Amino acid sequence: MTNDSNTENSTTYQTTCNPEEESVSEELISAVAALNDAEPAELAVLSNFIDPEALDALFGPRSSGIPRTTDGQVQFKYDSYTVQVETDGTITLHEPESATSEN
């Protein structure tokens, strides 16, 4: 995971996964756990913010196994982060400065 930028208002972290072979929701949980030096079970429940199965289905291969060929992204709030997931498996986490200074 990389710390891409640190602006006056937020800190941005980025990681990637292969949505055709990996679960986007599991990679997201792993990334947030690493950022917070916590176990995944200690984090807020992802399904309170977004449906993890729908997130995985949106970026994973079609039920026929054929990879998706469209470009897209979804953005949502997860705990103190604004999360953006892109078709290529890029997961970007924006953390407001106020949350960064509390950690």
3-21, pLDDT tens digit by residue? 555 555 679 999 999 988 8
Q: How many domains does the chain contain in total?
A: 1
Average pLDDT, the chain: 87
* Comparison of pLDDT for 6 and 41, the residue scoring more: 41
Are 2 and 15 contacting, i.e. CB atoms less than 8 angstroms apart?
yes
Residue 67's pLDDT band, with cuts at 50, 70 and 90, is confident
Residue 2 in this model has a pLDDT that exceeds 80: no
Is residue 23 classed as helix, strand or coil in its secondary structure?
Answer: coil
Residue 53's pLDDT band, with cuts at 50, 70 and 90, is very high
Domain encompassing residue 12: 2-102
